[in-house]
Amino acid sequence: MQPNHLHYVNNRVLKLNVGFLLSSGPGNVHDTAFDIPVIQVADDLLLNAVRGPVRLSRTKEGILAQGTLEVSLDGECYRCLEPVTQLVTITIEELFAYQHPTAAEFHLDDTGILDLAPLLRAEVLLATARGLLCRPDCKGLCPTCGANLNQTVCTCALDADDPRLAQLKRWLK
């Protein structure tokens, strides 16, 4: 579920010019911090916020990006389907290859622009692969009538006989 935000930051803010690190040689480090409001990271991912520090380190292979980011996103609870906004902490640690860009998933070209958007998208999708949960003890929906069991007590589950247990019921009699 994607909310209809009228204004969001373009994902260009996740494109960092690291040419100065490439030219300065291995061993140099640059720290940066993100505090971005609503941002569309990709066509299929809109985040309410991205916050946290990222360290960019020059290695002989390229630029190593490391950091812990907190992202906030909207969706639906995978048990009860209620709207939910969740804060997810992701850790990134990825080498953006420079000298052999075809050998790595993430790479830098001659422009010296490091694009964190594809990495951020991948990490958020991995962190939320099971789905969002409104609360740890969410009871979900009744499989028979579809009632939200967090809001009401459903009696149809008590009345219905499970055909898979019919043979056991005969033994009890």
Q: How many CB atoms lie within 10 A of CB 128?
A: 18
What integer pLDDT is reported at residue 116 of this predicted model? Answer: 94
Q: What's the pTM?
A: 0.78
Please name which of 49, 62, 45 lies closest in space to residue 98, comparing C-alpha atoms: 62
Output the pLDDT for position 3: 46
Q: Please, are residues 89 and 68 in contact by the beta-carbon 8 Å criterion? A: yes
Spans of all domains in the chain: 11-136, 139-173
* C-alpha gyration radius of the chain: 23
* CA distances (Å), origin 115, targets 23, 26, 79, 149: 18, 20, 35, 43
Q: Given the DSSP bridges, would you call strands 45-47 and 39-42 parallel, antiparallel or unpaired?
A: antiparallel
35 CA to centre of own chain: 16
Q: Would you write out the chain's pLDDT as a tens digit for each of its 173 residues?
A: 444 455 777 878 899 999 899 888 889 999 999 999 999 998 889 999 999 999 999 999 889 999 999 999 999 999 999 999 999 999 999 999 887 656 667 888 888 899 999 999 999 999 999 889 999 999 999 888 888 999 988 877 555 566 777 777 777 76
Residue 146 has phi, psi (to 5 degrees) of 85, 10
Whole-angstrom Cα distance, residue 142 to residue 140?
Answer: 7
Q: What is the pLDDT of residue 2?
A: 45
- The DSSP call for residue 132 is B
